[in-house]
Chain A
């Protein structure tokens, strides 16, 4: 038996790809669309693109934490809808923006806390737990609204979704702030590091003194609040609470995260890559719209991209 090694340094290109991965794909995609898709590279379209990804972007911040901790949350789409409806109803009744926003955020926190409690404390599978709350919360949205859109009577509230600062829509600013904040939390705080450790091996983390249950409950609660906030922004943009909105939103957010290299088994994830994932999804959608691709085909295309991303990731890992 003999093994000897010819001293070959690893090729710099492969190394670069390893580190940069999806960021490279994003750059290539962006350049390609700018060159070949008409009207893509224009100020108006860039604004539209940013606005279109702002909601996915916001919620993917907390979803990143959820996935990194080894969990899952399917209830966010329902929370977005229900929070929007609740905000609308409370605002109309009380004529107070603060009360409406507060009620919606409270609802999000409550749903998130329940998710977290059931998953972390009662040790029920996150997929099943949030599948249940997803339906419950969707149902509540319909009950509160009576099944139809609830128009909002306070015009001041519309500023949140429809104003702009320095030419950039407010929701985009909010999303950018979320990226920065959650990226900071993930990388620089004990909580962020603990999150990744819990996802990597929760038993070992527990024995290393990490309060695993508390970390998970906090993540789910934050996720609920974030989804509710996205729901509020959405209701402001469309000036009403829509009980039907955002079905399948959870899958869009999870797809973006996975595209951004977040491991579904937990322990691995970075904010920069999630941002890339969100943007890739957004650009593809935007380009297809500009090219007048029918909606039905867009579903197919999005699924294929996700599959390709996962396979690419797997291939890359095999290589190293």
Chain B
């Protein structure tokens, strides 16, 4: 498979068995999503062939693939938010008579499908009102309505809560029992080892290895993926912290159930852990001025901060790398260069008006090199980059600014192990230079690995703030769980 200037897949061959879960791993831009898109008929390969049950198949569009029992659940979900759950499930083959949709039959069929995967969702609910996890479930149910026997998942857990992940795994295992062949793409090593039977590793579009997972250790997988050994990916070194960081007192606003107060020092990496929906992203948006606070005081470096918009926040040295890269991060139809310089260009422009092109060029190149963004050139449209590389460009946008406080909301979502460890390195460097680094993460090992202190959020408030030395997985999880479930267990 080739794109202009990119050989995305180069002579890759492997087999996926029925009744088994086949993991697919590789660095960002290794070609995993591209492979799945070929499988789904969205792209046609420039060479090679696809065989199902021994018979060669050529898919020229997604309908072909669906008819052959192949369904791909993409990194970015492909559902229509304005339509109901039921309509989404049967999109393209709604039960009908003379072109008129039979609403009762539709609702019944939808309910049945949803029950099959253990979801209890009102079929007439607008899809846009569901949580991301529920949408994912709808997408799976949709694949099953077409009688798919080969189901591929592209980073399905990257925006799911822990409970939703459990449910998803249960369903995937059930699918395996039913004899489906499952292809599973993820950057999370734990998942791969928990779920997978076999694994195929890609690097730079080339096939590295296909093996039983039982024959491989984590380190072996990482080494084959990255092509080198990775020691401790967090590589935490204690730092001296200053005093004047970001002091937040009694902050109230949408998404928070109680006033929030904390004090993140300059030179400190301050982690926020919590379950999805605990209000961490909302808190970040309040600090960034993207939503309006209703009460409270924020000071930076001893100076009170009155911000009502992201623009002012950036001018005051506070930046936010948002959680939802597609909606809030990238400008898909513009280049990597444009996306990198979207904010910093204002300060570098001559007389504040004329774009400084040579600076922008070199800045974009430097950021791409620093974060190892895989792209043929900085002129490439960002939407042609792989998911993880898009995320890196957004990070690069904020590394182009000189900042006092950097708010990172799930900065390593969808990013491969190698790049993760580089990003942790960058966070430490920023902290060492006196920046106050605030990280939101749902990954326990990550929060524990990088933070000097950790605030745990639960149901819209800060439940506790722990020192690094006092924190462990058990404590954090216990603090993060809603009180009702804590009592019940």
Contact (A3, B322) CB under 8 Å given A196-B334, A204-B331: no
Complex partner residue of B50 from A1, A190, A205, CB under 8 angstroms: A1
Interface centre among A8, A201, A267 (most CB of B within 10 A): A201
Roughly how many angstroms separate A2 CA and B56 CA in the complex, as a whole number? 11
* CA gap between A196 and B338 in the complex, in Å: 10
Q: How far is the CA of A10 from the CA of B2 in the complex (A)?
A: 10
Residues 165-203 of A contacting B (Cβ, < 8 Å) = 187-193, 196-197, 200-201, 203
- Whether, in the assembled complex, A128 has its beta carbon less than 8 Å from a beta carbon of chain B, the answer is no
Q: How far in angstroms is the closest Cβ of chain A from B29?
A: 16
Q: Are the CB atoms of B346 and A1 closer together than 8 Å?
A: no
B2-20 Cβ-contact flags toward A at 8 Å (1 or 0): 1010010111111110000
A37 interfacial contact with B, CB 8 Å: no
In the bound assembly, the distance between CA atoms of A191 and B357 in angstroms comes to 14
CA distance A7 to B7 in the complex (A): 9
A53 within 8 A of B: no
Q: At the interface, yes or no: A6 with Cβ under 8 Å from chain B?
A: yes
Quick check: B15 and A1 within 8 Å, CB to CB? yes
Check B333 for interface membership: any CB of A closer than 8 A.
yes
A42 in the interface, Cβ–Cβ < 8 Å? Answer: no
Do B334 and A210 touch across chains, with their CB atoms under 8 A apart? no
Q: With an 8 A cutoff between CB atoms, is A4 at the interface?
A: yes
Please name the residue on chain A nearest to B4 by beta carbon. Answer: A10
Say how far A108's CB is from chain B's closest CB, in angstroms: 24
> In the complex, which of the residues A208, A209, A210, A268 has the most CB atoms of chain B within 10 Å of its own CB atom?
A208
A3's contact among B47, B338, B355, by CB below 8 Å, is which? B47
Q: Quick one: which of B16, B313, B330, B331 contacts A1, CB cutoff 8 A? A: B16
A1-B352 contact in complex given A197-B331, A209-B314, C-beta closer than 8 Å: no
Tell me whether A320 is interfacial, beta carbon within 8 Å: yes
Question: Which of A199-248 touch B at CB < 8 Å?
Answer: 200-201, 203-211
Chain B residues with Cβ below 8 Å from A191 are 353
* Cβ contact within 8 Å between A5 and B2: yes
Q: Is A78's beta carbon under 8 Å from chain B?
A: no
Q: Which residues of B contact A187 (CB under 8 A)?
A: 355
Pick from A5, A197, A263, A267: contact of B10, CB under 8 Å: A5
What residue of chain A has the Cβ atom nearest to residue B34's Cβ? A3
A201 near B331 with CB under 8 A, answer: yes
Q: Are B345 and A193 in contact (CB under 8 A)?
A: yes
**How far does the Cβ of B22 sit from chain A's closest Cβ, in whole Å?**
10
User: Which chain A residue has the least Cβ–Cβ distance from B205?
Assistant: A5
B48 contacts chain A at the CB level, 8 A cutoff: yes
Within the complex, what minimum Cβ distance (angstroms) separates B7 from chain A?
6
Residues of B within 8 A of A320 (CB): 4
CA distance A188 to B351 in the complex (A): 12
Query: Nearest B residue to A320 by beta-carbon distance?
Result: B4
Closest approach, in angstroms, between the C-beta of B420 and any C-beta of chain A? 23
Contact A211 B311 (CB under 8 A): yes
In the complex, are the beta carbons of B338 and A5 less than 8 A apart? Answer: no
A233 to B4, CA, bound (A): 47
Select which of B10, B15, B330, B349 is within 8 A of A204 by beta carbon: B330
B454-470 CB mask vs A (1 if < 8 Å, else 0) is: 00000000000000000
A189 touches B354 (CB 8 A): yes
Contact between chains at B352 and A197 (CB < 8 Å): no
Decide if B397 is an interface residue (CB 8 Å cutoff).
yes
Whether the Cβ atoms of A197 and B334 lie closer than 8 Å is yes
B345 with A190: CB separation less than 8 A:
yes
Contact between B355 and A188, CB atoms less than 8 A apart: yes
Complex interface bits, A1-24 against B, C-beta within 8 A gives 1, otherwise 0: 111111110100000000000000
Contact of B333 with A193 in the complex, beta carbons under 8 Å: no
Answer yes or no: B104 CB below 8 A from chain A CBs.
Answer: no
Q: Is the Cβ of A193 less than 8 Å from the Cβ of B48?
A: no
A266 to B333, CA, bound (A): 9
CA gap between A192 and B35 in the complex, in Å:
38
Q: Which residues of A contact B332 (CB under 8 A)?
A: 200-201, 267
Chain A residues with CB under 8 A of B346: 190, 209
Task: A3-B11, A190-B355, A208-B397 are known; give 7 further A-B pairs, CB within 8 A.
Answer: A1-B51, A2-B12, A3-B12, A190-B352, A197-B334, A210-B342, A266-B333
Could you pull out 25 A-B pairs where Cβ atoms are within 8 angstroms? A2-B48, A3-B1, A3-B9, A4-B11, A5-B9, A5-B10, A5-B45, A5-B48, A8-B2, A188-B354, A189-B349, A189-B354, A190-B346, A190-B352, A190-B355, A192-B355, A193-B355, A197-B338, A203-B328, A204-B329, A207-B310, A208-B397, A210-B343, A263-B333, A266-B333
